[in-house]
Amino acid sequence: MPPDSPLARVRKARHRISEECGHDPKRLVQYYMELQQRHRDRLVWFPALQPKQGVSDGESDDDQD
C-alpha cells in the first residue's frame, strides 16, 4: 500500500488519535462519543436503526407475552 494512499492516511490519523488517548480503549471511546455529541447535526440517522419509541432498556417487542 502506498504511504500516501487514502487508507494509509486514515490509519495514520486513527493511530494519532489513539496515541493522544494513550492507547487506552476507554479514553478512545470517550473521545469518539464526545466528538459524536459535538457534531450530532452532521449525523445521518436511518429510520430502521433508530431506537424504538416507548421501549426501555432491556425490553423488546418480543418480550410481550
Going residue by residue through the chain, which has 65 residues, state the pLDDT in tens, using 9 for 90 and above: 787 899 999 999 999 999 999 999 999 999 999 999 999 999 887 777 666 666 555 555 555 54
**Domain limits of the chain?**
1-40
State how far the alpha carbon of 47 is from the alpha carbons of 2, 5, 53, in Å: 38, 34, 12
CB neighbour list of residue 21: distance below 8 Å, 6 or more residues apart: 27, 28, 30, 31
For 12-23, the pLDDT digits (tens) are 999 999 999 999
